[in-house]
Amino acid sequence: AKAQGRGNYQFYSEEMNARTLDRLTLESGLRHAIERGELQLMYQPQIDLASGAVIGAEALLRWRQGGGQLVMPDAFIAIAEETGLIVPIGEWVLRTACAQHVAWQRAGLPELRVAVNLSARQFRQPGMDAMVARVLAETGCHASALELEITESVLMDRPDSAAQTLQRLSEMGVLLAIDDFGTGYSSLSYLKRFPINALKIDRSFVRDIPADADDSAIAGAVIALAHSMGLTVVAEGVETPQQRDFLRQLHCDQAQGYLFSEPVSAATLAGMLRRA
Ligand code: C2E
Ligand code: CA
Ligand code: CA
Ligand code: CA
């Protein structure tokens, strides 16, 4: 048993070294990712459930490493947050998405709002709202064409300073959405303190509707309450026609998910809209 214990110890420490190495490799690679042009945005269409029209697109970050390997955000966003690299990376994402909106408009496509994810660290960065204003001015993107997605945790942590930042963004005309709604601990009444435009119902509540009675009731209640507060509701992770139809019955405003499209390149999305 002792020998096995030592063996285990060795196993774990090797695994830890591998993980630390992995992390350092990721971190140093990430430091150069912007300048080397390795970051890319994919866009997932957001559908108006009543009309079926594509009305927006969420920008989702991808990292195409030098060797060609594609790294998904769940593998590097946390490291980017911890190291602070999320600040320049997030600004790159915002600038690229805003420039893309303008390019789509110039190409004669129907008005397409862009949604950009903001991490907590980025949101708390002093001068964040001024950065957004600068990027909008530099790219020529209208504020009302931009939606910023933040999570409940951003609001819960430092509510007073969050409220001030959101107020300034809202006054600029930028739309604000709560991402992954339902996974944090905030309530809809709490959200009243903030100038929020939209709620995105987390995928975990959408997955088992309409079969699961509890999730169906939660989805219905969130949609009704959100509407009573004047908020737009977006359902995430819609994968089946049954989910779509049920959400439509509940008067959910918009939906996103593999049923409609996975995240695609800007060129592919433009092609989809031209054919529509
Ligand atoms: P999120 O903001 O909740 O984005 C939705 C995620 O769900 C995306 O994963 C998307 O590809 C995936 N998804 C969309 N439709 C479906 C569906 O029908 N079924 C399933 N199972 N999944 C679906 P992705 O692109 O891997 O992004 C993961 C997370 O990484 C995002 O979650 C977001 O929190 C973060 N992220 C992505 N891009 C950025 C960024 O530019 N900045 C920051 N700060 N975070 C980002
Ligand atoms: Ca999001
Ligand atoms: Ca989400
Ligand atoms: Ca998520």
Q: Could you identify the atom of ligand 1 that is nearest to the CA of residue 41?
A: 41
Q: Give the whole-angstrom CA distance, residue 144 versus residue 150.
A: 17
Residue in the block written with tokens 């993980």: 19
pLDDT band, residue 251 (cuts 50/70/90): very high
* Cβ(117) – ligand 1 distance below 6 Å: yes
Q: Give the whole-angstrom CA distance, residue 253 versus residue 198.
A: 10
* Cβ(151) – ligand 1 distance below 6 Å: no
Q: What is residue 21's predicted lDDT score, i.e. its pLDDT?
A: 64
Element housing 230 (H / E)? none
SS3 72: coil
Q: What is residue 9's predicted lDDT score, i.e. its pLDDT?
A: 54
Cis link prior to 210 (omega < 30° from 0)? yes
CA–centroid distance, residue 179 to ligand 3 (Å): 5
Share of the chain above pLDDT 70, in %: 92
Q: What is residue 22's predicted lDDT score, i.e. its pLDDT?
A: 82
| Mean per-residue pLDDT, 86-109 | 97
CA–centroid distance, residue 47 to ligand 4 (Å): 18
Question: For residue range 157-175, what is the model confidence (pLDDT) as tens digits?
Answer: 888 999 999 999 999 999 9
Helices (H) and strands (E) in the chain, counts: 12, 9
For 177, the token pair is: 């959405």
* Cβ(61) – ligand 1 distance below 6 Å: yes
Q: What is residue 68's predicted lDDT score, i.e. its pLDDT?
A: 87
Residue nearest to ligand 1 atom 43, measured at CA: 117
* Cβ(96) – ligand 1 distance below 6 Å: no
pLDDT band, residue 15 (cuts 50/70/90): low
Q: DSSP states of 85-120 as a string? A: THHHHHHHHHHHHHHHHHHHHHTTPPP-EEEEE--H
Q: What is residue 13's predicted lDDT score, i.e. its pLDDT?
A: 64
What is the residue-averaged pLDDT of the chain?
Answer: 92
Length of the chain: 276
For 45, the token pair is: 């269409």
Phi, psi of 59 (to 5 degrees): -80, 130
The answer on pLDDT for 276 being more than 60 is yes
Q: DSSP states of 125-183 as a string? A: STTHHHHHHHHHHHHT--GGGEEEEEEHHHHHHSHHHHHHHHHHHHHHT-EEEEEEETS
Mutate to test the pocket of ligand 1, among 117, 135, 148 (most ligand atoms within 8 A of CB): 117
The answer on pLDDT for 4 being more than 60 is no
Q: Could you identify the atom of ligand 1 that is nearest to the CA of residue 258?
A: 18
Least confident among 91-95, 175-179, 191-195, 252-256: 191-195
Q: What is residue 3's predicted lDDT score, i.e. its pLDDT?
A: 47
The number of angstroms, rounded, from the C-alpha of 183 to the middle of its chain's C-alpha atoms is 14
Residue nearest to ligand 1 atom 2, measured at CA: 117
Q: What is residue 2's predicted lDDT score, i.e. its pLDDT?
A: 42
Contacts of 170 (CB under 8 A, 6+ apart): 176, 195
Q: What phi-psi label fits residue 19: left (phi over 0), alpha (psi between -120 and 50 degrees) or beta?
A: alpha
| Mean per-residue pLDDT, 203-232 | 95
CA–centroid distance, residue 57 to ligand 2 (Å): 10
Question: For residue range 58-87, what is the model confidence (pLDDT) as tens digits?
Answer: 999 999 998 888 999 999 999 999 999 999
Question: For residue range 108-138, what is the model confidence (pLDDT) as tens digits?
Answer: 999 999 999 999 999 999 999 999 999 999 9
Among residues 143, 139, 164, 168, the alpha carbon closest in space to that of 154 is found at 164
| Mean per-residue pLDDT, 263-272 | 97
CA–centroid distance, residue 180 to ligand 4 (Å): 6
Angle at 10 between CA 4 and CA 13, to 5 degrees: 140
